[in-house]
């Protein structure tokens, strides 16, 4: 998204925190996640984290919902492609995901 001044608009703070959670979990695992690290990675102070989430658990649930939505969208598109291709067998599904 581009702002009126021609600069690329930054994602809102909540989205930045969620993205930081997803990236941190992907790189270092769930054990590495803390509110302090998420705030730092998102470029906000720790109180900024709590302005958007009541707890670390709430943030992690929201991050899981984001990832789940991405997975559902990918599967939906892929299954649509299989349907259009007429692939009704297991091998067609396997080839799509290789």
Q: What are the residue boundaries of the structural domains of the chain, listed by start?
A: 13-96
Strand partners for 98: none
pLDDT per residue over 55-88, tens digit each? Answer: 999 999 999 999 999 988 888 887 777 777 766 6
In angstroms, what is the C-alpha Rg of the chain? 18
> Which pLDDT score is estimated for 50?
95
Residue 36 has pLDDT above 50, yes or no: yes
Residue 11 has pLDDT above 70, yes or no: no
CA–CA separation, 49 and 53 (whole Å): 6
* Contact (CB, 8 A) for 44 and 21: no
CATH architecture for segment(s) 13-96: Orthogonal Bundle (1.10)
Determine if the pTM surpasses 0.75: no
């Amino acid at each position: 998204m581009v702002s009126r001044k021609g600069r690329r608009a930054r994602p809102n703070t909540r989205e930045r925190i969620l993205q930081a959670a997803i990236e941190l979990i992907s790189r270092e695992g769930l054990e590495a996640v803390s509110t302090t690290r998420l705030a730092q990675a998102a470029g906000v102070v720790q109180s900024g984290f709590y302005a958007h989430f009541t707890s670390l658990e709430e943030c992690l649930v929201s991050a899981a919902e984001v990832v789940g939505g991405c997975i559902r969208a990918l599967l939906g598109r892929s299954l649509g492609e299989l349907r259009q291709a007429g692939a009704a067998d297991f091998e067609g599904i396997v080839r799509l995901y290789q």
